[in-house]
Structure 1
Amino acid sequence: MDDNVHTPHLPPEILLSIFQTIEGHHTCLRSAALVSKEWFDPATDVLWRDPPPAALASLPARRRQFYATKITELYFRSVDESKYHSQYKNLKFPRLKCIGLDVVRLRKNQKLHLGHYIQPRLESFSYWGGHPCEDALERLETECPRLHDLHLVEPLELELDVEKLNKFLRNRTSLRNIEFGRGWTYSLQNEVLAQVSTIDHLERLDIVPFLRPAMVQEVFSDPSNKFKNLRILHLRLPSVSVALLAAAADSVDTLFLEAGDSENDVLQALEPMTHLRHLEIEYHNLHRGVDFSEESMKSLGTFQDLEILLIRTWTRGRAYFNNINAAWLGDEQFDSLMSSLPKLKSLAFQVECSITLKAITSLSKTHPEIYCCDLYGVFDLDDWAIPTEPIFPQLRRFAIDAPNLRGRTRASTTSLPAKVDRIIDIILRQLPMLEQLGFHDFERNVVADQVLEKYAVRIDGAFNEKQATTHRPWSWMVKNPRVKSRKSVDHANDMELIRRNGLSHVFDMYDLGRDGD
């Protein structure tokens, strides 16, 4: 570096603030680091905040500690990156705040060393399993006073010590968010669930395995002193257990519920949860469809503070054999339901019903600030063809089965390209702020498929997605290399993640920080 180069002399904290504005632009930061000694430290502080593990491993061994000192987030996002753990075991990471460990695969007789990652500044610990680490829990308890996120897809130990885990949960009072992933299917004990449910400082809880009815009965039969300050809850339950949950978690305002069946009315059971602002329900009923009754609609109308609603079956795309059915639900009934939810801003209502475009147009009048509308049905868009003020001036996501135009039959002289162009013209005029367009039926409907392709060309950008999306658990977040740095708005659900089906290119639209935009 040439010290004779004339560069602005600014305090290090000002330089750091400047370089933070270009975080993620690695080429620019590398160039800035080469300008002068004065710029080198703040530029590399930003550049090395969250490097891929391979970047640190590629350095000469004598230089690794210098850059390891700058790292605040370190995520091992693939099994292949497990090999770097042994190379880092003699390093120190004093600034490390977040560590994410993908499934670890080590050779025979190798040990998983985590002590160098478990530092006093650590705030988030995520572990996907694959190799036991018996001492990690004790070290997290005694050495990480700032730890507030704990995401364990599998238990840390080969054999779960229930008392040891409960002691950690009692003593680590900094914890705010806990997730037990799918690897806990046979390890999650009643005593652990009972302990978690009484943690006063807990704000979010994700439990991925389905809870057994007997476990729910034992833990939640007495709802007193349960989930006192919990705001966000994600559980999988049989429908018979939902009422017990609702009584114990009546203060929760964000609920992601996956129901294992529809034998009992889930919405009626949820009525005690009057503080709900965000509700997502997925039915895992793969044997037959789900009946959405008029009683269910009345129960849904009791959540008058609801801002975000998603109801659907668990599928990978459109599943015609196990949909939610409500043939009785027409325009009038739909209008009545929506009027009972005056604060609604995001609606994903994947229910087979008899509504027409008239109901969607009415929704735009009663809920002008709505930004997500995801419904089932093939809708004739001719009524939107008349030049007017935009029907949905704020809508960011619009999904239906397929678009159609009235009177267009096989005998019609209108060509398919002309029909597609007209539909796109209508959508662009009536939904001017649209960022996501989705058709559930695109694989079976030629018009829908063609509209998607031409729409992407017309807006001069890649098509966003072809599937409805919903919540993802915390453990998925840190594994996705494209989500972490995004600061835009989640227009689909107004939450930090989407779960299960979304593709990585969707995440460019989603906000994880919720910075008050």
Structure 2
Amino acid sequence: MGSPSSASLALALPEILVAIFDCLDSPALTAAMRASKKWFTCASDVLWRRAGCEALAAVPEQRRQIYASKITLLAFSGDEDAAYHARFQHLRFSSLKHISLDAYRPSDGSYHIRQYFQPPLESFSFYGGDLDHDLLQQLRAKSWRLRRILIDSPGAAVQPDFFATFLAEYTSLEHMVFLHGMDHLITDDLMLHLADRPSLSSLMIGKTCSAELLQRISTQVLQPFRALRNLQLTVPSSAVPTLVRLATQLNRLELTVQDADATVVGRLASLTTLRELSLSFSAATELPKHEILSLKKLTQLEELTVGPDEAEDKAEVTAFQSSFSDTDFDELVSQLRSLRRIRFMIQSNLSVLSLASLAKHCPLLEMCTMPQVFDMSPLSGDDRAKFSFPNLHYLDLGGLERPPSENPSSQELASAMKTAFPKLGEFYVSSDDDYSNDVADAFTASDAS
């Protein structure tokens, strides 16, 4: 009898089987499970890694532990999912790496989530509930490898001093997200600690950070934010110069500016390592042309968002006084050749030629949002080649200008857009006029046919 082939030997190794099964969809995995006991074990490991809480709850109670130990990710959404916590409280999730808990405050005060605190846990997301000191202490004690933590609205039981100590002693944490209902816990002393934390690479804070606090960080921390690459923050305009000096190596910045008292865009343009920039203004802001054009220094940008803070109804960002034009827009995007996503929500006198500039200079563009109402008739004329977007799959415009004599018709323009944007799957308009809606409807209908 001949010796087994190398392929047969390879297929007998669990790590090889798991790597192969990782590439299969659920029906193929289900079929593979029937081949042999070993294949069943490996395939079920892969199948159950990201199984939902409903699937686990559907397993008979006496067999539930078998599959709980295979799960690496659990996400609970809404009160119905949260009801599973009590049913799972005696299970051991020994492979769990990521847990996401939606907002939940049970009437009886019992919150059974300690079973998810396991040594492999890397990510803990908590979107609202009643945390207490004991829960957080157990999380730190049992999940010592945790790298990412997100906490929203934890209730009143957690005290600022305890929370600061909890984070200071949780040395494995590298990514922190505290956006909503956390202002009482984000003290100045905590921010000083975070600025001095040597391994902090990502920080997202909802509480406004004052210019005075950033100045304290500048003077009291020797190497502030030395590992920080991703930052989300709200600041007054007066704080931006200090912020730029403190966080010099950012790859991603999501910044909300509270007022229009000082110009900020030119300052941010010195952060030349940025790959993603989202800049929102909470107050009505008129941007000078030279400020907008300063963004062309950010040649590594893959994503650019500039516009009003959507949480503020009266916020509007404009560039009318400086007559920001199609030529200026072309000058800007000619230096941003790596752009994949742009939300240029600055109200100005741009025309459809701005789309031609994006088509010319940004061939990788996948998503585009602009507030202007464009005359898109050139897409069906002799210049249509100037508007080719081979990778665009999302387009959101203020609206479409009705052409004279309905030429092109809504159907013809939708067809021309299909040709110019072959991968476009989502097209939206903000205005509620008949022509814009007719084109959007015709585009959607052609997708369905």
- Contact kept in structure 2, 1:223 and 1:247, CA below 8 Å: no
Instruction: State the match for 1:257 in structure 2.
Output: 255
Retained in 1: the 8 A contact 2:293–2:328? Answer: no
Render the CA deviation track for 1:405-449: whole Å, top value 9, x for unaligned: 54x2xxx4x49xx710121122122222323323232xx222121
Q: Percent identity?
A: 27
Q: How big is each residue's C-alpha offset from its partner over 1:218-258, in whole Å with a ceiling of 9 and x where there is no partner?
A: 44555741111111111122222222222211211210112
- The CA deviation string for residues 68-111 of structure 1, in whole angstroms up to 9 with x for no partner, is 11111112111233322222222211111111122232233x43
**Matched position secondary structure for 1:450:** helix
Match of residue 399, structure 1, among 396, 401, 406: 396
Matched residue, 1:382: 377
- Residue 316 of structure 1 deviates from its aligned partner by 7.5
- 1:325 matched to 2:321? The reply is no
Does the aligned pair in 1 maintain the 2:324–2:348 contact within 8 Å?
yes
Q: 1:354 aligns with which of 345, 349, 355?
A: 349
Map of 1:424 onto structure 2: 414
CA offsets per residue over residues 436-470 of structure 1, 9 Å max, x none?
A: 323232xx222121212211121238xxxxxxxxx
CA shift at 1:184, angstroms? 0.2
Counterpart AA for 2:448? D
Change (3 A) 1:340 1:68: closer
Cα deviation for residue 358 of structure 1 reads: 2.7
Which structure features the higher share of helix residues? 2
Distance, in Å, in 1 between the alignment partners of 2:433 and 2:372 is 12
TM-score by length of 1: 0.76
Which residue in the other structure is 1:55 paired with? 55
Query: Is the CA contact 1:276–1:306 (under 8 Å) kept in the aligned structure 2?
Result: yes
What does 1:162-201 correspond to in 2, within 5 Å? 162=161, 164-201=162-199
1:137 pairs with 2:133: no
User: Residues of 1 paired with 2:29 and 2:104: CA distance?
Assistant: 32
Displacement of 1:375 after TM fit? 2.2
Q: Which runs of 5+ in 1 are unaligned?
A: 1-7, 462-517
Counterpart for residue 470 of structure 1: none
Q: How many residues are aligned here?
A: 436
- What amino acid is the match of 2:255? L
Task: Identify the residue that residue 435 of structure 1 maps to in structure 2.
Answer: 425
Aligned to 1:74: 74
CA contact (8 A) 1:122 1:146 kept: yes
1:36: how far off?
A: 4.7
| TM superposition score normalised by structure 2 | 0.87
Distance 1:19 1:385 in 2: 48
**2:336 & 2:21 partners in 1: Cα distance?**
45
TM-fit CA distance, 1:33: 3.8
Contact kept in structure 2, 1:345 and 1:371, CA below 8 Å: yes
2:225 to 221, 224, 227: 227
Residue pairs, 1:213-224, within 5 angstroms:
213-220=211-218, 224=222
Match of 1:19 among 12, 18, 21: 21
Q: Residue 227 of structure 2: SS of its match in structure 1?
A: coil
Counterpart Cα distance in 2 of 1:204 and 1:402 = 37
**Offset of residue 271 of structure 1:** 4.1
Answer whether contact 1:128 1:152 (CA < 8 A) is retained.
yes
Does the 8 Å CA contact 1:224/1:248 hold for their aligned counterparts? no
Structure number with greater CO (CA < 8 Å, separation at least 6) is 1
TM superposition shift of 1:50? 2.4
Q: Distance in 2 between matches of 1:223 and 1:420?
A: 60
Q: Does the CA contact (< 8 Å) of 2:153 and 2:181 recur in 1?
A: yes
Q: Give the aligned CA root-mean-square deviation in angstroms.
A: 2.9
Tell me, which stretches of 5 or more residues in structure 2 are unaligned? Answer: 1-7
Cα deviation, residue 41, structure 1: 1.7
Q: Which moved more, 1:338-347 or 1:323-332?
A: 338-347
Task: Please state whether the residue corresponding to 1:135 is helix, strand or coil.
Answer: helix
TM-aligned CA distance change 1:377 to 1:210, over 3 Å: same
1:369 is aligned to 364
